[in-house]
Amino acid sequence: MVRLEKRPSPSAFWQWATPVLAVVLTMIAGGIMFALLGKNPVEAIRTIFWDPLFNEQFAAYSRPQLLVKAGPLILIAVGLSLGFRAGIWNIGAEGQYIMGAIFGAGVGLALYPVETRWVFPLMVVAGVFGGWLWAMIPAILKTRFNTNEILVSLLLVYVAQNILASMSLGLLRNPEGGGFPGSRNLGQIPAMANPELIPGTGMHWGVIAAFVVVIAAYVMLQRHILGFHIKLSGQAPRAARFAGVSPQRLVVLCMGISGALAGAAGLFEVAGPSGQISIDFNVGYGFTAIIVAFLGRLNPIGILLAGLLMALTYIGGELASFMLSLPSAAIQAFQGMLLFFLLAVDLLTNYRVRFGAKREVA
């Protein structure tokens, strides 16, 4: 018989070892899944995790992609992690990401063809505002009417997707695009572009923002009273109220930060790698960031590493679908599986597993 025994204090070792263990277990289970699809599991795993970085043929293209993909994931995940720590569940980052892109691109395109240096900063502000605004809807409904923020933030993703479709077909459509859906390509308008800053690295302003946010969040959680209050609210809500934390204020703050960061990620994406507002602009970063946040143990440094790893699975997944004709959905299932394994092994942090039955009465 297997029993669980609560540890007196969380294990520091397992706190860091569980994500690694989860990745290993996912590779094994993923390998089995790939084998069931009739692919060579070892080759598939190598194509996903090794080739994008070290294969001479692909690395030149893939390596810069690592930062391009990791940037938005990290930016969004750091924001989400603050709320998750406080027990505030914003799972609609995908919608906030879309709204950030629409607001940012909208401001840029409204100013077209103004060619000054402050257009891009203005777009960033608008993008941040768009994401923040979209996150304020569940936040205000939660604080005013006690409405469940999980459901509202998620339902708003569907609303945002419809707004995105409407924008790319209507208001923001490229007037010179010959009637095709989609906006002007922002990447080709110097005042609005978010270009690759150092050629061949994939580094753009969004990646820099992600690094800055990681550091800021780390400092806040370690040393600032707000970080302490966030942790306290998640672990012991009643103790937080005793410590003078206002739950309402915290909801508005955490939802606001995560929305603003998701909006910023959307703006950097639409002005950079993606280039335009289109119906299929969003690719699920907002949802994958939830996995990144948990895989990084809601810790900024951990999220940085987890974001890079998850970006790798995206690139490797594309590579595997190109090289081994692995279905592209397989990588989504693979990422979901990773979260399962992480949650499963997470109990090692707080519990000891004991084998053997309890001794029965003699």
Judged by CB under 8 A, the chain residues 162 through 181 that form the site for other proteins are 162-163, 165-166, 169-170
From the CB of 307, what's the least distance to other proteins, in Å?
16
Among positions 190, 235, 248, 301, the unique one binding other proteins when judged by CB under 8 A: 235
- Report the b/e string of 98-120 with b at 16+ CB within 10 A: bbbbbbbbbbbbebeeeeeeebb
Q: Is 12 in the site for other proteins (CB under 8 A)?
A: no
Does 334 bind other proteins (CB under 8 A)? Our answer is: yes
Find residue 3's DSSP bridge partners.
354
Task: Decide: is 41 part of the binding site for other proteins (CB under 8 A).
Answer: no
Pick the binder of other proteins from 11, 31, 49, 231 (CB under 8 A). Answer: 231
Per-residue contact flags (x/-) with other proteins for residues 139 to 158, judged by CB under 8 A: --x--xxxxx-xxx-xxx-x
Instruction: Report how far residue 213's alpha carbon sits from residue 192's, in angstroms, rounded to the nearest whole number.
Output: 22
Could you tell me which residues are beta bridge partners of residue 352? 5
Stretch that binds other proteins, among 42-50, 103-111, 116-124, 324-332 (CB under 8 A): 324-332
108/122 Cα distance (integer angstroms): 8
For residue 32, state whether it binds other proteins (rule: CB under 8 A): no
Nearest by Cα to 74 from 273, 231, 207? 207
Is the Cβ of residue 208 or residue 226 nearer to other proteins in the bound state?
A: 226
Enumerate residues 71-90 that contact other proteins by CB under 8 A: 89
Nearer to other proteins, 232 or 261 (CB): 232
Only one of the segments 22-30, 49-57, 118-126, 289-297 lies at the binding site for other proteins (rule: CB under 8 A); that segment is 289-297
If the CB atoms of residues 1 and 113 are measured against other proteins, the closer one turns out to be: 1
Distance CA(88)–CA(154), nearest Å, equals 13
CB of 5 or CB of 56, closer to other proteins: 5
Question: Restricting to residues 268-287, which ones interact with other proteins according to CB under 8 A?
Answer: 287
Between 4 and 110, name the residue whose CB sits nearer to other proteins. Answer: 4
Q: Pairing relation of β-strands 351-355 and 2-6? A: antiparallel
CB count, 10 Å around CB of 166?
Answer: 13
Backbone angles phi, psi at 292, to 5 degrees: -60, -45
Q: Among residues 29, 133, 159, 323, which is the contact residue for other proteins, using CB under 8 A?
A: 159
Q: Of 7-15, 71-79, 122-130, 184-192, which segment contacts other proteins by CB under 8 A?
A: 7-15
Tell the smallest beta-carbon distance from residue 197 to other proteins (Å): 32
CB of 52 to other proteins, least distance (A): 20
Residue found under tokens 């597993």: 353
38 scored as a contact of other proteins (CB under 8 A):
no
183, 109 Cβ separation under 8 angstroms: yes
* Residue 331 touches other proteins, criterion: CB under 8 A: yes
- What angle, rounded to 10 degrees, do the helices at 56-85 and 93-111 form? 110
- Total of residues contacting other proteins (CB under 8 A): 73
Q: Which of 336, 340, 320, 301 is nearest to 50 (CA)?
A: 320
Q: How far apart are CA 41 and CA 36, in angstroms?
A: 9
In this structure, how many other beta carbons lie within 10 angstroms of the beta carbon of residue 351? 16
If binding is defined by CB under 8 A, does position 242 make contact with other proteins? yes
Residue 9 found at the interface with other proteins (CB under 8 A): yes
Q: Is 110 in the site for other proteins (CB under 8 A)?
A: no
Rounded to whole angstroms, how far apart are CA atoms 152 and 230? 22
Helix (H) or strand (E) holding 75: helix 56-85
